Structure formats: structure tokens, C-alpha cells
Structure 1
Amino acid sequence: MADGRVLVTTARGSLVALKTDDGKELWTADVGQTSDAAPVVSGDTAYVTTWNGGENVDRGVAAIDLADGSERWRAIPDVDVSSAATLAHDTVYVGGSRKRSHVIALDAMDGSERWRFRAGEYASTPAVFQGIAYVSGGKEPTVYALDAVDGEERWRVDVDGRVWGAPTISGETVYIGTRKGTVYALAAADGEELWHIEIGDDVRESLAVTSDMIYVPDRGSIHGLSTDGEGQWSVDASSYVFPPTVAGNSVIVTDRSEAFGLDAATGAEYWRHAVKRRTISDMTFSGIMCEPVVHNHVVYVASLGGDVYALQRPE
């Protein structure tokens, strides 16, 4: 969301700007071969990651002018970046991808490279807080804390499985989930383990955290935990669950077929919305492959069928 626009990336490598009130298309920018991670926005610029371009197609990170969709700069055009970027102060941070293990920091004004750090293939989008970039190791069962200015390693912690989702920071604690189905709480200062809990299934995405609850998506459920690691509730989904979004007293969740809203305290369902299927030639496209975005009591969801939905969220 940016200045009255809904920004949507597509698997065909486009960034599309829609009006928030009626969904009318304002412009479309061609940013690369494949761009299926959400853009990050600051002021008048959207930063978009691209991948799967091949040797003769620019990849990396593109900075797009929000006024008309024109490209301001492109950085690391030889690098696949399959996860979203993080913008902190005047720096754009990106993680790894297939056969790419570096976390890279770029100048937000011109795309020049500031530093890079080898973390692991599919290293996560960095989470930046108080001058530290926290990174999950992707295929490596490790969590890193890096100096956000120069990329120097502050600490690293090994956990019980691969860590694909970006860390979530709340207060002085870093929360992550592993592919072994374990949730860890680590001290942000030095990585000391505060607690862990096994929820029993594959956690591939980032967690959502409030002052008193943690929301954990896994292969087929969404779990509500207290911030000391005690289980509070669990709700089954129809399939793989993407990172949830907390909005007021609700948790907004998407899986591969539906979007639904739950009571944040109890997990009770408020509403549910299925997306349409679309058949092109002999192929059918359906479901959802991204997290929801909530703005001014409206839930925005993009589908594999090529539709963008604006859903009024009950207050």
C-alpha cells in the first residue's frame, strides 16, 4: 500500500499499481522475468526483487517510481532474489535464492552495494531493528545477527532445522520457526535461547508477534502461542499457511485456497472468503500464494488466478 495505491507483483515480472478505492489500473511496470515477492515502499519509490531471469535477463532489485512506473535504477542484475526486500533508513536489504547464499545491503538512493554476507542458500529477508540485521540461514539451520551498517557478524545460533522464514523481532526477543516444527525465542542481544516449543509440523514462513501473543503458520494450521511459549489455540487450514497479519483484535490468514479472519485471543473464526479459479488453455490456476495486506479495515488479497480482492474486514 502506498499513497492511495495497491501495489501487486506478478509471476510474469510485472509491478502493477491499482487504485485503492475501485481497483482501477494506474500503470504497469516490467521489472524482470519473475517477481512474486511483495514490493517494499518508501516515499515515492517501490523496491522490487526479481529472479529466474536467466543469463541474458536482468534480475536483482529494481527501484520503481511510484508516479508512473518508470525504473529509477537496477542493482545486482546477475543475482536471483526470490524473497521480498527490507528497507531500513537509507538501505535496502535482500536475502538469498536458489544457488544464492548472500545477504546484500544496497544504497536506497542509487542501488550501489554496501556489503554482502554469506549466510546460506535461500537465506531469508533480513529483519532490521536498532542497527542489527537478523537473518535466517535458509537451507542452513542457523540464525545470524549482523551489523546493519557494515554486515559484520555479531552472533550466530544453530537450531534444530532449516530456517526459511525471516526472523520476527518484538522488544528484546527474536522469534523464528524451523522446518522441524520448532519455534524458538532468542535474546536479541546475544542469541541466547530463552525457550523453544515443538508444534510438530513444518514452519516455512515468518511468525507474527504482538505484545502478548505469537502466531505461527505451518503446513496446515495456524497456532496461537503466548509470548512465553505456551500453546493457546490451534486452527486447521485447508492447506499450507502463509505469514499471518494481525489487525486489531483479528488475525488475518491466507492458505492456498482461502483468506479468513480469526479472533486473535481465541482463534474463533469471524469470516472466510474463497478465491476464484481461472482456466487458461488446458491449465487451471487457483488459490493464494502470499500473505494478506490490511489497510483501513480492508483486507487485500492476490490470487494465482490473477485477481486482486479488496475485502471489507468486520470491525
Structure 2
Amino acid sequence: MRRRRLLASLVAAGTAGCLELESAESTAARRTTARTRATTRPAAGDGTGEATNAEEPTDEETTTEEPREYTEPAWTFAPEGELVRPPVVVDDAVVTAAEREPAYALDAENGSERWTTDADVAGRRRPVVVDDTVVFSNVRGMTAVAAGDGRERWRADANISSRPAVDGRTLYAYGFEYSQELAAVDVDTGSVQWSREPESGLGGARSTVFVDGVVVDTHYKDAVYGFDAANGDQLWSFPNPKDGTEPIDLATDGTRVFATYSNSTSGGAGPLVALDPADGSLQWSQHEDGETLESSPYLVAHDDTLYVSHTGLHAVDPTNGFTKWFNEDVHGIVTPADGTVYVGSGGHDGVVLYALNPETGRITGRVHAAYADAWGLRPAIADDRAYLLETTADGNRLAAYDLPN
């Protein structure tokens, strides 16, 4: 039995009829520039009152291989209903759901059906996995099912617009009590431990995050907010840095909170900032002019690196905001797995799921998709296999593809 671990849970969209595997050995070289251009503001209370600029351009070659033969998937699953829930891997099963049909659990090795459930699991947000419980959220509430057999464990009425945060056996989400309260929910029972109505309401960011006893969420026209995870009391707020900027994504490395912004005035992006979760103070700010990031960049924090995806991929040092490397050839959303960074990206030869060295940004291999949306090519990856949703000439399906060694 193939060993499976929960490593990443992301979705693929578009039309990907077949994939092509490429090895890390390469014959066609591409150019990647690692360039740092960051403005770092001093942490609160350091007394300097100055900002520092850094620009450290270096060039290095990245390598890819010319396309080889298209490879058939290891297995596919195509129910009658359209699959829309991003897949997650739980132990040795892959869980996904259709838009108006049941959730499904499939054997990760061969794609055979383990169980289905008719619980309310509609929606396009990837579910949250806490040990042996899979929690689906949507505009009608939260539904928890057992990962082993799909039996519904509990359901809570709410209007959830962001992916919930998790700490141990507690979920944190905004949208309870007529869509107006932030709440802490027990994973085992679904009972609400506390709920609070923020003064200005919340909503706008893709995710709620938890770090060091603080729940962080946003109001798109107002600020980033920190709440006490023990009782929901508001601890701090960080106002939107410029007129027209709106927080669009949050991430944490367990020490800091990172926020990125869109700019409704210019149509571009606002700055990338790091905040102290204890008091909301600004630790550093990068890309303040908004010209070096496109609108609505995505954030992923993993293994001492903050990945910022837009028209290229920035790998950022979370301690100071300086860019470690920048790869202009890839621009999808990052999926970290087993010491490798995977990112879907469009190019002259179609859409590619690239494998990158997280230390250098060098391309070490790729899976080639003939037709797909680069921003949608975001599989769940466990060990040596990628699981993704794709649309073919015959309809929608979940497919498992073996990754290059």
C-alpha cells in the first residue's frame, strides 16, 4: 500500500485532457533572475525611525527538458455531478465533492470508491482536515464528516466566506449568528465555544489565520484585526495602508502574520506586510509602490519562506521581507510537498506544474498539461503523486498523475 500523508490540498480547473511528465535532467535552459527589491521598516520600538532598501541581483540558470510523450493518469474518477471541491488527501484516501452531489472518498492507490455522503458539502473551498475529521464550509454553514466512513458528525448554521483557521481541536470562522459573528467551534461536537460581533464586521480575505493565541481576520474596506483566541475579544487593528487598498490574503509562519492587498483605485496590488500577532505592529513592508506585484497576489508560508505568487514567484525571507529569489517563468499558486515547491504556470508550450528547489528557485522537473488554467492547476500532492480536478472533452473528473522522480 502506498504511503500517504496530508501535504497540500488545492484544486485544478480549466481543461486538462492529458499530462506530460518531464525529468529533472534537462536539455533546454531557461533564465531565472534572483533579485531583491524590498523596503523594510524597523520593528516597533527599535528607535531607528529609518527604512532600509536592498537590491541584490544575481543570475542563475534553471533547466527544463523538451516535452516527451503524454502520460495517461494512474486512475480517474468521473461521477455524474461536476466535481468542484478541491481534493484533500487523508491517510490513504482522496476526498473531494461535487457542486450539487455527494462528497466522495477514493482510494489514493487505485481510485476505487471508499464512501459517499449526502451531507451538505456544496461549495468550492477546499475542506479542512483535523485528524480523522473533514470539515466542509460554505454559505450555509459547516459540516463535519468522519474521514473513515463519511458519516456526518455535526452541522453548524453559518455563512462562511473565508477558509476557517485551526488550532488543535478548535476551528475559528466568521459568519455565525446571521453572518455577523466570529466564533470558535469545537471540531469534535460542532458546539460554539464563544462568538463575538466585531465592531466593523469581517470579510474579504481568502483565509482566517491562527497564530500564537490570536485569531486574525480582515475587513476589506477597513483593516486587519487580531482577536483573543480564548474569548474573541479584539486585541488590535492594523488599518489599510493606503486609500483604495483592500486586504486580499493572509498567511502565517507561526511567528508573524503576513497580509497582501489589492488596490481598487489603480487596479494593481498594495504592499506586502508582516505584522506582530501580539499587538498588530508593523514589522516590515515590501512592494509599497504596488507596481512590482499584480492585483490579488496569493500567499503561502512554508519552511521559513513566504511565497508570493503573481506574474512571477517571489520567495521572501519572512524575518525581514527581502526576496531570496524570484522566478519570472512561473506564476501560479504554490503547493509545498516533501522538500519541493510545486507551482502551476502558463507558458509558450502550455500549462506546466513545475517542481522547484525551494532554496534556489531552480526548476527540477515538471508535469505538462496541454490545456488548463495556470492558476487552477493546484493539485493535492502526497508522496509521488498529484491529484487534481480537470475538465476533458467528456466532462469533469478527478485524476491521479505520478510525478517525475
* Bin of the TM-score, shorter chain as denominator length: 0.7 to 0.9
Distance 1:140 1:302 in 2: 34
- Who is 2:31 aligned against? none
Q: Is the 8 A contact 2:143 2:156 kept in 1?
A: yes
- 1:45 and 2:108 equivalent? no
Shift of 1:81: 1.8
1:74 and 1:94, CA in 2 relative to 1: closer, same or farther beyond 3 A? same
- TM-score with structure 1 setting the length: 0.77
CA RMSD of aligned residues (A): 3.5
Distance 1:6 1:115 in 2: 25
Q: Which amino acid aligns with 2:273?
A: H
Distance 2:155 2:85 in 1: 23
Q: Is the 8 A contact 2:240 2:247 kept in 1?
A: no
Q: Is the 8 A contact 2:104 2:113 kept in 1?
A: yes
Distance 1:4 1:153 in 2: 27
- Who is 1:132 aligned against? 170
Distance 1:64 1:41 in 2: 9
Shift of 1:127: 2.8
1:86 and 1:197, CA in 2 relative to 1: closer, same or farther beyond 3 A? same
Residue of 287, 291, 298 corresponding to 1:242: 298
- Who is 1:185 aligned against? 226
1:270 and 1:123, CA in 2 relative to 1: closer, same or farther beyond 3 A? same
Residue deviations 1:134-192, cap 9 Å, x none?
11329945321112222122222223244253321223221222222411111111111
Residue deviations 1:254-297, cap 9 Å, x none?
12x32221121222222223457xxxxxxxxxx63xx4122344
- 1:302 and 2:344 equivalent? yes
- Who is 1:230 aligned against? 281
Residue deviations 1:191-231, cap 9 Å, x none?
111111113432243422422x2111222242122233111
1:137 and 1:271, CA in 2 relative to 1: closer, same or farther beyond 3 A? same
1:298 and 1:104, CA in 2 relative to 1: closer, same or farther beyond 3 A? same
Shift of 1:8: 6.2
- 1:154 and 2:154 equivalent? no
Shift of 1:21: 7.0
Q: Is the 8 A contact 1:94 1:126 kept in 2?
A: no
Shift of 1:115: 1.3
Structure 1: give runs of 5+ residues left out of the alignment.
Answer: 277-286
Structure 2: give runs of 5+ residues left out of the alignment.
Answer: 25-69, 263-268, 361-405
Distance 1:178 1:42 in 2: 32
Aligned residue pair count: 289
Q: Is the 8 A contact 2:212 2:254 kept in 1?
A: no
- Percent identity of paired positions between Structure 1 and Structure 2: 23
- 1:259 and 2:313 equivalent? yes
Residue of 137, 140, 149 corresponding to 1:95: 137
Q: Which amino acid aligns with 2:156?
A: F
Shift of 1:307: 2.4
Shift of 1:2: 4.7
Distance 2:299 2:343 in 1: 13
